[in-house]
Amino acid sequence: MSNAPEQRDVTFVSRDSRILLMSCIRFVDDIVMGDACFVCSAAPRENTFNDEHIIPRWRLRRFGLFDRHMTLLIGEFIRSKTLREGAS
């Protein structure tokens, strides 16, 4: 048995069901371990996703970055046009 105190979800949600402040527990469960969008916290089964880029396509085009390589924080190289996010 663990002596660690049980943590509870203390996410704050608005009257219209928007998340105002997400608890660490919910962030880990829904986003890190789950498949929810890190921007809006919606899961693909809850919303229609538009497959938008992390860096908006208009910005990539405007600054000629679509075919450039970027270095991720983990040290991997990736082409900027492949950075996508499933947010609706």
> How far, in Å, CA of 58 to CA of 52, rounded?
11
Nearest-CA neighbor of 58 among 49, 69, 50, 66? 66
Confidence of residue 73 (pLDDT cuts 50, 70, 90): confident
Whether the model clears a pTM of 0.75, i.e. scores above it, the answer is: no
pLDDT tens for residues 24-61? Answer: 888 888 888 888 887 778 887 877 776 665 667 777 78
Whether 84 has a pLDDT exceeding 60, the answer reads no
* Residue 19 in this model has a pLDDT that exceeds 70: yes
Instruction: Give the closest residue to 22 by CA, choosing from 36, 3, 5, 2.
Output: 36
Rounded Cα–Cα distance for residues 87 and 31 (Å): 12
Per-residue pLDDT tens over the stretch 60-70: 788 887 777 77
